[in-house]
Chain A
Amino acid sequence: MSLHGRDVISIRDLSREEIEEILSSARKMVPYAEGTKVMHPLEDKIVAMAFFEPSTRTRLSFEAAVQRLGGSCITIADAGASSMRKGESLHDTIRMLSSYAEAIVIRHPNEGSARLAARASDRPVINAGDGAGQHPTQTLLDLATMLESFDTLTGLKVVLLGDLKYGRTVHSLAYALALFGSELVLTSPPSLGLPEEVVERLEHLGAKVSVEPDVHKAVHDSDVLYVTRIQKERFPDETDYRKVAGSYRIDAGVLREAKPRLIVMHPLPRAGEISPEVDDTPHAAYFRQAFLAVPVRMALLNLILGAAKKGG
């Protein structure tokens, strides 16, 4: 099925083939995202950025993507200043926006808001994060980063480290990696493990999943170390938090045992999970990962915003 005119709300909305199509297009977009080549397929097109909660990285990379493709943006960047403060429903706000723009990118603090927006809009809607729910373009750029480093996703051994229970990005990423036949190693404090039902679904997809609480052992023969934040508010006691956060900090010592080609990824912003000394090693892939947000979002916008309308 073509991606023309489609909503992208959850990574589950995309088949493996569609994900491959986006990733392959994203690779070709890299020079256009860097500005060394120019293309304007979205000329005369407007994309609405409906950001109902603060976000720097996601909004700016979407805006950069639209502008690199020759389109323009209209933006709600502060929900407090929008009509929602006057009591307008999200449904009505989106309905109005869909008459102003060819597509809507939404970030909103409530889970399921992007799905609601897609129903309210007759233009395609892209979810840029709904509360603790889905953030499919983050997963796509994570996959793009691994693909750029290894040329394949199949057979990669990926350590998912940190808060695997509440982490928004990690469930979608694990699902997508399972689709591509990657091997998953789960490294987290016991209270923040990947929920059992999620593990079952991954295994149902054929993924090989193992648990290794010791980060040194987990890293040993892996290809990717995907680090997420462990949030202080998940712990009743600050001392417990410090102990756990300290034991999962990635520094040169942890990486000494790693394969030379291991890449360290992080959705950023980091808060001490990765020591700055890692930045200058060949393992550090998180800034590249942040850059790849632009070509990935360009690829997605370009595939969605063709000549066809929604559903076409």
Chain B
Amino acid sequence: MVRELKITPIKNGTVIDHITSGLALEVLRIINVQSLDKDSTVSVAIRVRSGKLGWKDIVKVENMELSPRKVNAIALVTPRATISIIRDFKVQEKRSVDLPDRIVGILKCPNTNCISNQPEPVESEFEVTERRPVVLTCAYCERRVESFLDHLT
């Protein structure tokens, strides 16, 4: 098979690889592309062949490093993703996204009557109660949450 370069390399920035196929746009939503510098190129590859996953998506963002909170959000949506930090065209650091034991602030509780959805000076908070597949439990109302896309803040 001829190797084709579908996305050009970036000088500085972040590559999010091994995104579950079809979820690249969700990752872009988490990254909040609108908030980036105007000269930051964002490349998205959807349905790329992958030895590990069969098919995968890739997102490359120039001049941006992800905050831990955004990494947690990506871990929730696509737990097998990897994140590479690129500096001067070289991979400085590559790691898997890692779901912490508690998820703070990135997900709204789906229970509209939960106190965390009221005007109180608190952030939403979930405990990771199961990891495969991921199940979260609201630290306030104890609601179990098994799908996350619709509840990201």
A residues contacting B by CB (< 8 A) are 10, 89-92, 108-113, 115-116, 119, 130-134, 197
Asked if residues B113 and A116 are in contact (CB atoms below 8 Å), the reply is: no
CB nearest to A108 among chain B residues: B115
* A111 engages B120 (CB within 8 Å): no
A131's partner among B113, B116, B144 (CB-CB below 8 A) is B113
Number of residues in B with C-beta < 8 Å to the partner? 18
Identify the 3 closest CB pairs spanning chains A and B, nearest first: A112-B140, A112-B141, A111-B141
Complex Cα distance, B95 from A176, in Å, reads: 43
Please give me the residue from chain B that is nearest to A111 by CB atom: B141
**Is B140 a contact of A115 with CB atoms below 8 Å?**
yes
Residues of B near A132 (CB, < 8 A) are 113
Residue contact B144 to A116, C-beta cutoff 8 Å = no
Interface residues of B (CB under 8 A from A): 109, 111, 113-116, 118-122, 138-144
Main secondary structure, interface of A, reads: mixed
Nearest-CB residue, chain A, relative to B144: A197
Give the contacting residue for B111; candidates A111, A115, A119, A197; CB below 8 A: A111
Inter-chain residue pair count (beta carbon < 8 A): 57
Bound-state CA distance A109–B119 (Å) is 14
Question: Contact between A112 and B116 (Cβ–Cβ < 8 Å)?
Answer: yes
Inter-chain CA distance A92–B122, complex, in Å, is: 11
Report chain A residues within 8 Å CB of B122.
Answer: 91, 116, 119
Q: Assuming the A-B contacts A110-B114, A111-B113, A112-B114, are A89 and B119 also in contact, with contact meaning beta carbons closer than 8 angstroms in the complex?
A: yes
Does the CB pair A90–B142 fall under 8 Å? no
Is there contact, CB below 8 Å, between B142 and A113?
no
Q: Is the CB of A133 within 8 A of B142?
A: yes
Can you report 23 residue pairs joining A to B where beta carbons are below 8 Å apart? A90-B120, A91-B121, A92-B121, A110-B113, A111-B111, A111-B142, A112-B109, A112-B111, A112-B114, A112-B115, A112-B116, A112-B139, A112-B141, A113-B140, A115-B115, A115-B139, A116-B122, A130-B141, A131-B113, A133-B141, A133-B142, A134-B142, A197-B144
Task: Indicate the member of A90, A92, A112, A113 with the most B CB atoms within 10 Å.
Answer: A112
Q: How far is the CA of A112 from the CA of B113 in the complex (A)?
A: 9
> A175: shortest Cβ distance to chain B, in Å?
11
List residues of chain A with CB within 8 A of the CB of B114: 110-112
**Shortest beta-carbon distance from B122 to chain A in Å:** 6
Chain B residue at smallest Cβ distance from A171 = B142
Report how far A108 CA is from B116 CA in the complex, Å: 13
- Min distance, Cβ A91 to any Cβ of chain B, angstroms: 5
In the assembled complex, how far is the CB of residue A172 from the closest CB belonging to chain B, in whole angstroms?
10
- Which one, B119, B121, B140, B144, contacts A111 given CB within 8 A? B140
CB distance from B105 to the nearest CB of A (A): 15
